[in-house]
A and B are shown apart, each in its own frame.
Chain A
Amino acid sequence: DAGVIQSPRHEVTEMGQEVTLRCKPISGHNSLFWYRQTMMRGLELLIYFNNNVPIDDSGMPEDRFSAKMPNASFSTLKIQPSEPRDSAVYFCASSLGSPVGAFFGQGTRLTVV
């Protein structure tokens, strides 16, 4: 298996623009997570899906952030409008269940100028 695939790997955008990050989880995994990593706040869980249904979105910073999982093999995280403070590395991870642990993608480094 190719692992969790995220695209793009790097994104530079101007403040106010819409940004869409994409994730393909490992085939057969039923849980998907979006994390954000910054120097100041470390790794934060943004949202967690189970069987394509959002279970916990309490980490989503504000209404500018939205996430979807239209099917078991694809998820998106959208930021509209983007702001400089959204600059971070965004990770997608998938899992077969709690005891197994999550498998992470390579991340998308987002820079908002």
Chain B
Amino acid sequence: KQEVTQIPAALSVPEGENLVLNCSFTDSAIYNLQWFRQDPGKGLTSLLLIQSSQREQTSGRLNASLDKSSGRSTLYIAASQPGDSATYLCAVTLYGNNRLAFGKGNQVVVIP
């Protein structure tokens, strides 16, 4: 069974600082890994999708890396802003398994 872990559960950073969020997974036979953002009481917004053959993906201030051999992914958010305050969720899909296995998320607060 795929286990996905995100540590720490919560963190606060001052505005302008770079954010580094970590995700680890136990089964390296993943098809892809997806990072999502969730605002309180809302649905999930997809941020980045990394296929298993890729090492990283970038979108604006966001960069996500994937190291399948070590079972890790890192989401970097450059120059954080108060609007980045949200919960960030990491999810993996195994080969031949059309379901997402989620971590519990990193709850981020960016302090103005």
Question: Are A and B bound to each other?
Answer: no
Chain B residues proximal to chain A, CB less than 8 Å? none
Chain A residues proximal to chain B, CB less than 8 Å? none
